Amino acid sequence: MQIVVQKYGGTSVANLECMERVREKVLAALGKGQKIIVVLSAMSGETNRLLDMARAWNESPDAAEMDVLLNTGEQTSVALFTMLLHKHGIKARSFLGHQIPIRTDRDFGKARILDINRECFLKYLESYDVFVVAGFQGADCEYRLTTLGRGGSDTTAVAIASAIEADMCEIYTDVEGVFTTDPNICPDAQKISKISYDEMLEMASMGAKVLQIRSVEFAKKYHVPIMVKSTFSENSGTLVTQEDEEMESAMVSGVAYDKDQALVTLVDVYDEPGVAARIFGPLSGANIVVDMIVQNPSREGRTDMTFTVPRGNLEETVQILNGLQEEIGAKEIIQDRQVAKVSVIGVGMRNHAGVASIAFSALKNENINILIISTSEIKISCLIESKYSELAVRTLHEAFGLNHASQTTDAK
Ligand code: ADP
Ligand code: ASP
Ligand code: MG
C-alpha cells in the first residue's frame, strides 16, 4: 500500500472554498488506492492575527503561552477539513501534534522535532483512509505545546514522511513549484523541474520561503523526496532530490532575497584574542543565528565588528551586547533595520569562475551599493539597502540568464 504525505499551506486552506480544492486533490489520490496523510497549516493570515493579538499587551509575550495560542490556528483548519471529508463519506480523523505525539525540544517558538511516534500511524492506518495532521506543532517531554517556527508545517510533513517511510512528500502551495526566483516579484521566473537538496537548502536559507529550511535539512538527511506543487493547478511541480550530473551544468540556478535582516556594528571593540568568542558565544547561547560577519582591519588595537541577525532578534541582540559593551570595549552599538540580503545560488559555481564578478557588475549597473559580501561553495550573498531588494533580484536574475527556460527548467 502506497502512503503519501500531502502538505497544504495557509493559502491552500484560506477559506472553505479553497478547502474544497484540497478535498478534490485528496480524493484523486485516494482514487489511486493510496493512504493519505494530510498536513495542514493554519488558514492564511491566522497565525499573524494570533501574533498581533498576543502582542497587543506585551511586545514579547511568554513564549510558552504564545505556542499554546498559535497551536489553535492549525487546530481549526484540521478540524474543519476533517468535517469536510466526513461530509463526502471519507474515513478521516484529525490529529494534533501532541496527540501523535510529535515530540520536540522546549525551544518555544522554534522547537526542533526529536521524535515522531510512528506507532500512532500504524495503529490507525487500518481504520482511516486519511489522517489530517496539524502542521507546525509538537509537544515537549512534559506535554507542553510547542511550535516549529514560521513555515514549520513543511517540516512536520517531511518529518512524518521520513518517520513512516512514505513514498513521497508533496508540498502544495500557491505557486507551481520552486522557481528561479520568487515568481511574485519577478514575472520572468522559471519553474525548476528538479533541484538538489543542497541548492534548495541554500535557497531556503537565503530567504526563499517556499520551503522551511528545516524541512529541507530533514529531507536531505533522511533522503525524503519532496515534490512542490500548486493546489490550484494540475501542472507538474518541482522535485527536490539528490544532486545529479544535469544539475551541475547550470552555473546559477536561482536568486533569493531576505528582507528579514538587521545589521549591527560594534564600533572600536578591542582587537585581541577571544573578543569574537565573547561577542558571538552569548548570541549563540540565546539561539540567535548570526549570519554575515565582517571584522575591519585593526587600528591601534581596536576594530569594528559588523554582522547581521534576523530582524526579529535585533532587540534581544542589542540587549545582550549592551551587557558586554564594557568587557569588549565597544564605544558604540549601531543598528540598521533597512537592509536586505540578495543571493545567487547554484551547484555549478563549483566549476565556473566569474560568478561573483557578473553579480557585482549587475548591481553596479543599477547603482546598488553592496554593504557586505559573503560566499559559500555554491552561493554568493550581498547585503544591500532593503529598498533596492526587488530591483536587485530582477537584475541578478536577468544577468545570469535565468529568465530564459533551460534544460533544468520548464516554462511557467
Ligand atoms: P504556504 O502558505 O503554502 O506554505 P508560503 O507563502 O510559505 O506558502 O511559500 C510560498 C511562497 O514562497 C510563494 O508565494 C512565493 O512568493 C515565495 N517564494 C519565494 N521564493 C520562491 C521561489 N524561488 N520559488 C517559489 N516560490 C518562492
Ligand atoms: N501557520 C504557521 C505559519 O504561518 C506554520 C505554517 O504555515 O507552516 O508560519
Ligand atoms: Mg510556507
What is the per-residue pLDDT for 59? 81
What ranges in 249-348 are assigned the alpha helix state H? 275-285, 314-328
What is the per-residue pLDDT for 248? 62
* Residue nearest atom 27 in ligand 1 by C-alpha distance: 182
Handedness of CA 265, 267, 272, 274 (dihedral sign): negative
For the cut 90, the answer to whether the pLDDT of residue 221 exceeds it is yes
Question: Residues near 56 by Cβ (< 8 Å), separated by ≥ 6?
Answer: none
Q: How far apart are the first and last CA of the chain?
A: 33
Least confident of 10-24, 60-74, 104-118, 350-364: 350-364
For the cut 50, the answer to whether the pLDDT of residue 124 exceeds it is yes
DSSP 54-78: HHTT-SS--HHHHHHHHHHHHHHHH
What is the per-residue pLDDT for 407? 38
What is the per-residue pLDDT for 395? 97
Selected residue with higher pLDDT from 242 and 249: 242
What is the per-residue pLDDT for 404? 79
152 lines ligand 2 (CB under 6 A): yes
Report the pLDDT averaged over residues 290-317. Answer: 92
C-alpha neighbours within 13 Å on the C-beta side of residue 123: 6
Question: Residues near 403 by Cβ (< 8 Å), separated by ≥ 6?
Answer: 180, 186, 188, 189, 190, 397
Report the pLDDT averaged over residues 177-192. Answer: 96
Give me ligand 2 centre to Cα 155, in Å: 10
For the cut 90, the answer to whether the pLDDT of residue 153 exceeds it is yes
155 lines ligand 2 (CB under 6 A): no
Helix 118-125 and helix 153-163, axial crossing angle in degrees, nearest 10: 70
For the cut 70, the answer to whether the pLDDT of residue 388 exceeds it is yes
240 lines ligand 1 (CB under 6 A): no
For the cut 90, the answer to whether the pLDDT of residue 105 exceeds it is yes
For a pocket test of ligand 1, which of 175, 215, 226, 410 has the largest count of ligand atoms closer than 8 A to its C-beta? 175
Count of Cβ atoms closer than 10 Å to residue 137 Cβ: 31
Least confident of 41-55, 176-190, 286-300, 369-383: 286-300
Question: Residues near 260 by Cβ (< 8 Å), separated by ≥ 6?
Answer: 207, 310, 311, 312
Average pLDDT, the chain: 93
Cell 581596536 appears where?
302
What is the per-residue pLDDT for 409? 44
Question: Residues near 331 by Cβ (< 8 Å), separated by ≥ 6?
Answer: 267, 268
What is the per-residue pLDDT for 410? 44
For the cut 90, the answer to whether the pLDDT of residue 172 exceeds it is yes
Give me ligand 1 centre to Cα 183, in Å: 8
For the cut 50, the answer to whether the pLDDT of residue 265 exceeds it is yes
C-alpha neighbours within 13 Å on the C-beta side of residue 224: 31
What is the per-residue pLDDT for 408? 46
Report the pLDDT averaged over residues 367-393. Answer: 95
CB neighbour burial string for 285-296, b if at least 16 within 10 angstroms, e if fewer? eeebebbbebee
For the cut 70, the answer to whether the pLDDT of residue 411 exceeds it is no
Q: Which residues pair with 5 in a beta bridge?
A: 37, 169
47 lines ligand 2 (CB under 6 A): yes
What is the per-residue pLDDT for 405? 63
Please, which pLDDT band fits residue 412 given cuts at 50, 70 and 90?
Answer: very low
Report the pLDDT averaged over residues 183-189. Answer: 96
Is residue 225 classed exposed, middle or buried when 0-12, 13-18 and 19+ CB atoms within 10 A define those classes? middle
Q: To the nearest 10°, the Cα dihedral for 192, 196, 199, 204?
A: 80
Nearest ligand to the C-alpha of residue 153?
Answer: 2
| Segment 40-96, tens digit of pLDDT | 999 999 999 999 999 998 888 999 999 999 999 999 999 999 999 999 999 999 999
Please, which pLDDT band fits residue 406 given cuts at 50, 70 and 90?
Answer: low
